[in-house]
């Protein structure tokens, strides 16, 4: 059992979450050194968090269905991150619209049925046809 300070525990949990998600996406047991180096580069160069990197990987491989040619984070670029964020906003908008539709009260109006008392139909007597 390890004791961690609050910030170290949060960092360790993020690192484990990142590792688990990368392993799930690429089908690995443990991320290799290339992935960890790419992760560090993305954090230093662009300031991306592990959550942004994971969301972008999910968008690239599960939404856009890119082929997994190598286990690296090379496809994570500012353009791809912008596309992922735009897609997430549109998905959140769809969910918001569905929730709004589900919570909007529906007004029920009961319409009374009225019997038609005046008839414009021509009445035919069958006996008129029998005389012929």
pLDDT tens readout for residues 2-37: 788 888 888 888 899 999 999 999 888 999 899 999
DSSP state of 119: -
- Domain for residue 10, yes or no? no
Burial of 76-96, coded b for 16+ CB within 10 Å and e otherwise, reads: beeebbebbeeeeeeeeeeee
Residue 16 belongs to some domain of the structure: no
What pTM was computed for the model? 0.67
Q: Is 47 inside any structural domain?
A: yes
Within-domain flag for 74: yes
How does DSSP classify residue 74?
T
For residue 35, give both structure tokens: 């992935």
Residue 14: φ, ψ to 5°: -65, -40
What total number of domains does the chain contain? 1
Q: 69-110, pLDDT tens digit by residue? A: 888 898 999 999 999 999 998 888 888 888 877 888 878 888
CA distance 69 to 67: 6
3, part of any domain: no
Residue 34: which domain range? 24-103
Q: Per the domain annotation, does 83 fall within a domain?
A: yes
Does 125 reside within a domain? no
Is residue 7 a part of any domain in this protein?
no
């Amino acid at each position: 059992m390890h004791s961690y300070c609050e910030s170290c525990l949060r960092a360790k949990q993020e690192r484990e979450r990142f590792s688990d998600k990368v392993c799930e996406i690429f089908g690995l047991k443990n991320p290799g050194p290339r992935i960890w180096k790419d992760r560090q580069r993305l954090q230093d160069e662009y300031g991306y968090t592990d959550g942004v990197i994971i969301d972008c990987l999910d968008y690239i491989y599960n939404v856009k269905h890119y082929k997994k040619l190598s286990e690296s984070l090379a496809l994570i670029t500012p353009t791809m991150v912008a596309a992922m964020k735009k897609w997430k906003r549109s998905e959140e908008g769809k969910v918001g619209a569905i929730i709004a539709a589900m919570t909007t009260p529906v007004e029920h109006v009961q319409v009374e049925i009225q019997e038609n008392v005046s008839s414009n139909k021509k009445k035919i007597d069958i006996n008129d046809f029998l005389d012929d």
